[in-house]
Amino acid sequence: MAGRKAMEEAEFPTILARALMAATPSPLVELGAAALLGRMRADHPDLFRALDESRRTAIRFELTDSSRRFLLRFGEQRPSLRLARADDPPADACVKGSLDALLALLEGRIDGDALFFTRALVVEGDAAAIVTLRNLLDRETISVLDEAASLFGPLKGFVRGAALRWEGRAERLGGFIRAAAGAEDRPRANDAAAAENQALRAEIEALKTRLSKLEARRRREEGQPA
């Protein structure tokens, strides 16, 4: 499809996303997933209308680079996205892959057949359910980063820029650690990496605090208990 970017050219902070998913309590992860889905429904009404009219389907997404598992339900009901649980009924299909690969499929940046052919994504169960979802997604232009940043309202631009800056620092840190692994001055490299890692953790905590405050404010505006 014209205009698609290669997976490695995607502008999405996957390192930050994995770190946040690992450090954030499950209830907040579910809250964020539900909020993101609601934001996407507002921005892509045709997509969600088609999902509503599809047959009842449950798809489990298993990230190979994170311990989180998600369950997407759609068809004959309002679509929902939450963390998968051990006692969930068997899903119609299961998709396994890295966060990068799953985002590439969702955003239509690379042909789904290529992802499956190269085994970047592995499908178990009802492949027709995945094909249906992929075909619906192919009709849309989606940026998950923009959708997520929109949850912060007027702070959208700030959050988007901060996330990408954090990602750039994390990538540089990773390169520094790999380069330092073979260096003779290993103690000094480890000290610098530890300091950088501590700074990155502080930024994660600051983002989590800001998210909690924004969610509390949204609940107050909607008349819900904070």
Asked if residue 156 and residue 122 are part of one domain, the reply reads no
- Give the strand pairing for 93-97 and 121-125: antiparallel
How far apart, in whole angstroms, are the C-alpha atoms of residue 151 and residue 196? 28
> In the chain, which residue ranges form alpha helices assigned H by DSSP?
14-23, 26-43, 45-53, 99-107, 112-117, 127-137, 144-150, 156-180, 186-221
Q: Which residue has the higher pLDDT, 192 or 50?
A: 50
The tens digit of pLDDT for each residue in 173-208 reads 777 677 766 555 555 556 666 666 666 676 676 666
Residues 137 and 163 placed together within one structural domain of the fold = no
- For the chain, percent of residues with pLDDT exceeding 90: 38
Query: Domain span at residue 184?
Result: 152-221
Ranking 19-33, 80-94, 101-115, 196-210 by mean pLDDT, the lowest is 196-210
Q: What are phi and psi of 67, to 5 degrees?
A: -85, -5
Judge if 131 and 181 occupy the same domain.
no
- Looking at the structure, do residues 117 and 201 belong to the same domain, yes or no? no
Confidence bin at 77 (pLDDT 50/70/90)? confident
- Which of 142, 171, 194 terminates a domain? The answer is 142
Q: Write out the two tokens for 218.
A: 């949204």
16 and 95, same domain (yes or no): yes
Please say if the pLDDT value at position 64 is more than 90. Answer: yes
pLDDT of residue 131: 87
**Average pLDDT of the segment spanning 33-46:** 93
Mean pLDDT score, 152-178: 83
Q: Are 118 and 201 members of one domain? A: no
Q: What is the mean pLDDT of residues 62-77?
A: 92
Q: In the chain, how many domains are there?
A: 2
Give yes or no: residues 137 and 35 share one domain: yes
60: alpha, beta or left? (left if phi > 0; alpha if psi -120 to 50): beta
Residue at 1 is within a domain: no
Same-domain status, 206 and 105: no
Mean pLDDT of 76-105: 91
